[in-house]
Amino acid sequence: VGKTVVSLLLMQRLYAKEYTPFYLKPFQTGCADPYDAQSDAAFVYGNTVALYQKDPSQSVIYCYPNPKAPYFAARDAGETIHMEAVLQAVEEKRSTHSPVIVEAAGGLLVPLTEQQTVINLLPQINCRPLLVARAGLGTINHTLLSIEAMKNRDLEPLGVIFVQSTGCADDPGLVKENMEAVEAFSGIRVGGVIPAVSNFSAPPDSVYQPLNKILFQDCK
């Protein structure tokens, strides 16, 4: 969908605005370790100048090789995910960084433990959820269902960001209609579309505009 790309852009923009952000990926699956080529943390650290000399393992709490929901990936590895460790890590990072960007694993109803999904974690860490969605066909249904799930749990999304997939040229008219529908039917602000990025280390300023529209009007 593009959650890691959005997380990267947030980190870059926050550093540019002289904040002290921290990127946290509590549950990473589908890679051998935080340094793996498939590691989201390695991607963020490798494309954020302020993080070039820092250790991406500091941003990952649980990491498993099987590319599946964290609960099942942990079970395959013979391990158990303890939510207390995640909550403690978030609070520790908040004591030294502001803000903390927490990237979820998959969608809102992806199992993290035998009893909890991603959406159960959100109120526990007292976060402001930013929903990331595909830009193209099918996104209206998926995005509105995710927003409805959050509202049913008294969670108000901060906004929605659409992401254009690399190598996928969605019809601009369709994408515009998708954004219009999501905003009209949910009442949640849509920041816009982040286009495909060729140079993640130095994206053009225009790439950040959807984030600016939603987030930075409230900053400082």
Mark whether 54 is an active-site residue.
Answer: no
Catalytic-labelled residue, pool 3, 17, 25, 176: 25
Using an 8 Å Cβ cutoff, are 111 and 70 in contact?
Answer: yes
Please state the separation of Cα 86 from the chain's center in Å.
16
Q: Do the Cβ atoms of 22 and 97 come closer than 8 Å? A: yes
Strand partners, 194: 163
With tokens 């969608």, the residue in question is: 107
Give the CA count within 13 Å in the CB-facing half-sphere of 108: 23
Per-residue buried b or exposed e for 161-197, using 16+ beta carbons within 10 Å of the residue's own CB: bbbbeeeeebeeeebeebbebbeeebebebbbbbbeb
Give backbone dihedrals phi and psi of 61, rounded to 5 degrees, phi first. Answer: -100, -50
How far apart, in whole angstroms, are the C-alpha atoms of residue 137 and residue 124? 33
Q: Name the one residue in this structure whose structure tokens are 């269902």.
A: 145
Supply the DSSP symbol for 79: -
Task: Supply the residues annotated as catalytic.
Answer: 25
